[in-house]
Structure 1
């Protein structure tokens, strides 16, 4: 049984994240979404909200795979969290060449530390490539419309966070 670990902050979850999650579920029997927790940072959404967004998105898009998905919090190295959760691969989404250069360095480090865990790069679909959680937060904070970049329930949660 192939288990994959997809780490990220998912703050907020975007359509780009969803694209990668759905692709990962095509190549893994089980997918663990690891929400990174950094005590030094204050996220926009709490862990449980982000976990609910991820679960709901999968339930709406691949309802038959919801039992193959779990969401966990982790601190520290993603490679350690992957091992702890029984994953043989780490999933990383790629939007552009900047992502590729950074992710190749990370994959090299991870391979040195854990040669038994493979890094799998999944390219974002064209419509997802310009999307980043940071940009979505910034646009939402300035009152912009983010509905094309996130699932509708995430857009509603962002509107509620930034109501003026």
Structure 2
């Protein structure tokens, strides 16, 4: 029996956006199991706790898993990405690219990860055209200033983001 193909899609997901969910749905089709790793990343000053982000990502990805019949697991992590990839048995790390500006950073990160473990490949997925401009940072900024974020995030995430920023 062939070894299961496990992919890891890491991120801060503060909050998870429709762009993230698009990449998750597409990545889930490339692997037998997709692990969505929710990173601690306190340096980004998240509005949601790690537990809240993990819960939201799980709620939103359970819908995708049911729709396409995929195995999607959501796990928090605070270790080195390559160490976490090894821990979950991932043979590939999935990264989404929105624009050329993402490529330089992601290219460097992929090179470093390859040096740390050449057995784990980095796979880049281009964001779908309708999601290329969406970022968690912009979503938080728009929400904080009273703007409508409903086209950028799923309904549950939108409601929780507004509640968090307006409390």
TM-score (norm 2): 0.90
CA 26–156 in structure 1, closer or farther in 2 if over 3 Å, else same: same
Give, in whole Å, the separation in 2 of the partners of 1:94 and 1:41.
19
* Contact 1:58-1:66 within 8 A present in 2 as well: no
Aligned with residue 113 of structure 1, among 102, 113, 116: 116
Q: Counterpart of 1:53?
A: 56
Q: Can you give the 5+ residue segments of structure 2 that lack an aligned partner in the other structure?
A: none
Q: Aligned partners of 1:127, 1:141: CA distance in 2, in Å?
A: 23
SS of 2:143's equivalent in the other structure is helix
- Distance in 1, matches of 2:135 and 2:73, equals 23
Q: What residue ranges of structure 1 are gaps of 5+ in the alignment? A: none
Kindly state the Cα deviation for residue 24 of structure 1 after the two structures are TM-superposed: 0.7
Task: Give the structure 2 partner of residue 131 of structure 1.
Answer: 134
Q: CA deviation at 1:153?
A: 0.8
* 1:151 maps to 2:161: no
- Would you say the 8 A contact 1:58–1:65 is kept in 2? no
Aligned residues between the structures: 164
> For the structure 1 residues 136 and 107, does the alpha-carbon distance in structure 2 shift closer, same or farther, using more than 3 Å as the test?
same
**TM-score under structure 1 length normalisation:** 0.92
Shift of 1:40: 5.3
> Which deviations, in whole Å up to 9, do the C-alpha atoms of 1:7-63 show, x marking residues without a partner?
110000001110110011010111111111135564211223222222222232331
RMSD of the alignment, in Å?
1.8
Contact residue 65 and residue 71 of structure 2 kept, 8 A = no
Q: 1:39 to 1:159 in 2, by over 3 A?
A: closer
